[in-house]
Amino acid sequence: MAFSSKKRITVIGGGFAGLASACSLASRGFEVDLLEKNATTGGRGRSFQSDGFTFDMGPSWYWMPGVFEEFFARFGKSVSDYYELTRLDPSYRVYFEDGSQLDIPADYTALRNEFEKLESGSGPKLDEFLSEAKVKYDVSMKDFVWKPSLSITEFMHPTLLCESFRLDLFSSFSKHARKYFQHPKILQLLEFPVLFLGAKPSGTPAMYSMMNYADIKLGTWYPKGGMLKIAEAMTKLAVELGVRIHTDADVSKILIDGKKATGVLYNNSHLVSDAVVAAADYQHVEQKLMDAPFRNYNENYWKNRTMSPSSLIFYIGVNRKLPGLLHHNLFFDEDFGEHANDIYDKKLARETFVLSLLYIENRRHSSACRDGKHFYPHTCRHRINQH
Ligand SMILES: Cc1cc2nc3c(=O)[nH]c(=O)nc-3n(C[C@H](O)[C@H](O)[C@H](O)COP(=O)(O)OP(=O)(O)OC[C@H]3O[C@@H](n4cnc5c(N)ncnc54)[C@H](O)[C@@H]3O)c2cc1C
């Protein structure tokens, strides 16, 4: 039997993080085994099929296309080698409490005009708001994302330190937005991306106006064939790079000798390696896969953390086009603040907090979908509960 002289690394989790880690390690010459407990890779971004419908289970908003492009470029590839991307126009549709609706145009000037219709003078303010948001976005994407996050000092960036007051960095997102705009509809439009972070706009730093830059300037995109194309592409790349992917492989323990991880136990088998990369939820890895002496935090620490809220999602396949619905629909039919207080402060499960209606192509109608225009909605009413 021939043994490889390469160092072996086990990656736990086949979501985007695990797949990205596995690709990076394999391209640097490591022998990589990726263990995924589900039957398919993709993690929260995986899909399932039922009765001829394919459902993307998690993400539906493809934002920041440059991040994906940069990832594939690291391996001499491009997104277009794996899937076709289209910028959606309009980006999404919003229904307001008063029954009115607004389609958010991809074109910035057109959106600016919509803002002006709602609040006179808001056009130039939007320019200013977004130019600040761009500074935050650029610093975050060019610098922060590459930091190991071992210390807060890593995030003391010269541009941000010098401009902290102008960029309103010590303020909350909701205060920051209200310095520019008053109209409740504009505020809702700007605050909804922050809800993606699983937090209240009033408790989220103004730094996150970078999300508005991503939304408005960089746009909402759609991979032809559905969001599952991303996981498929990353899985394909991993295999091309030589990663061995094991699905239905549930890791029950990380084996540690002294201060060194020496492998994992999965499905009652032992996999030896020189290092382990855990790309599953941190709390799960620490509390369930590692013995107490090796944990950074105890149970009490985790009990006192504010976890992102969970949501109950209904995947509903509909075999016809539903009038009035676009690819992405947001229903701002109830007060954000009230909902956020119920979820985060009072820890109440809200009966219905409708965030979006997702939709997906129906495979049986795939020929109709070829031009990327006709979609068959599946509805998803997000009911956000306490974690
Ligand atoms: C409903 C929903 C909607 C979302 N919408 C968007 C969106 O529109 N746009 C966007 O950008 N993001 C969105 N997100 C967030 C995005 O999906 C996640 O940030 C991303 O998928 C996280 O990837 P990850 O690899 O870090 O984690 P995960 O996807 O959770 O991957 C972790 C993997 O580890 C596996 N695993 C866990 N424990 C073990 C174990 N013991 N042994 C083996 N395997 C294990 C899991 O099965 C999983 O496959 C959404 C998320 C959800 C849930």
Q: Is 5 helix (H, G, I), strand (E, B) or coil?
A: coil
pLDDT at 374: 29
* Contact 40 CB / ligand 1 (< 6 Å): no
Residue 83, pLDDT > 80, answer yes
* Contact 58 CB / ligand 1 (< 6 Å): yes
* Contact 43 CB / ligand 1 (< 6 Å): yes
Residue 3, pLDDT > 80, answer no
Rounded CA-CA distance 360/379 in Å is 9
Residue 195, pLDDT > 50, answer yes
pLDDT at 383: 34
Probe residue for ligand 1, chosen from 40, 44, 222, 315 as the CB with the greatest number of ligand atoms within 8 Å: 44
Q: Distance of alpha carbon 41 from its chain centroid, rounded?
A: 16
**13-70: pLDDT as tens digits:** 999 999 999 999 999 999 999 999 999 999 999 998 888 888 889 898 999 999 999 9
- HSE toward the beta carbon, residue 295, CA cutoff 13 A: 18
Tokens 């909350």 sit on residue: 172
* pTM for the whole structure: 0.89
- Residue ID of nearest Cα to ligand 1 atom 36: 13
Rounded CA-CA distance 174/138 in Å is 21
* Contact 221 CB / ligand 1 (< 6 Å): no
* Contact 358 CB / ligand 1 (< 6 Å): no
**What's the sign of the alpha-carbon dihedral 378, 60, 225, 51?**
negative
**122-165: pLDDT as tens digits:** 999 999 999 999 999 998 888 888 777 777 787 777 877 777 76
Q: Over the chain, what is the mean pLDDT?
A: 86
Class of residue 76 by CB neighbours under 10 A (exposed 0-12, middle 13-18, buried 19+) = exposed
Asked if the bond preceding 90 is cis, omega within 30° of 0, the reply is yes
pLDDT at 151: 78
pLDDT at 384: 33
- How big, in percent rounded to 5, are the helix, strand and coil portions of the chain? 40, 20, 40
Q: Which atom from ligand 1 is nearest to the alpha carbon of 43? A: 49
* Contact 38 CB / ligand 1 (< 6 Å): yes
Other C-beta atoms closer than 10 Å to the C-beta of 320 total 9
CA–centroid distance, residue 77 to ligand 1 (Å): 24
CATH 3.50.50.60 in the chain is located at: 8-60+227-303
Rounded alpha-carbon distances, angstroms, from residue 84 to 24, 230, 362: 23, 10, 18
CA–centroid distance, residue 57 to ligand 1 (Å): 10
pLDDT at 365: 36
Q: Is 102 helix (H, G, I), strand (E, B) or coil?
A: strand
Q: Which atom from ligand 1 is nearest to the alpha carbon of 382? A: 1
CA–centroid distance, residue 132 to ligand 1 (Å): 30
Q: Which atom from ligand 1 is nearest to the alpha carbon of 288? A: 41
| Residues of the chain above pLDDT 90, percent | 59
* Contact 317 CB / ligand 1 (< 6 Å): no
pLDDT at 345: 79
Q: What would you report as the CA-atom Rg of the chain, rounded to the nearest whole angstrom?
A: 22
CA–centroid distance, residue 326 to ligand 1 (Å): 25
Residue 285, pLDDT > 80, answer yes
Residue type for 257, please? D
Class of residue 106 by CB neighbours under 10 A (exposed 0-12, middle 13-18, buried 19+) = middle
Residue 276, pLDDT > 50, answer yes
Secondary structure letter of residue 81 according to DSSP: G
- Residue ID of nearest Cα to ligand 1 atom 2: 58
* Contact 231 CB / ligand 1 (< 6 Å): no
- Residue ID of nearest Cα to ligand 1 atom 31: 15
pLDDT at 152: 76
Rounded CA-CA distance 311/331 in Å is 16
Identify whether the C-beta of residue 246 lies closer than 8 Å to the C-beta of residue 94: no
- Residue ID of nearest Cα to ligand 1 atom 53: 58
* Contact 276 CB / ligand 1 (< 6 Å): no
CATH code of the region 8-60+227-303: 3.50.50.60
pLDDT at 375: 34
**366-379: pLDDT as tens digits:** 322 332 332 333 33
CA–centroid distance, residue 318 to ligand 1 (Å): 26
Rounded alpha-carbon distances, angstroms, from residue 345 to 88, 142, 202, 257, 337: 36, 34, 12, 42, 11
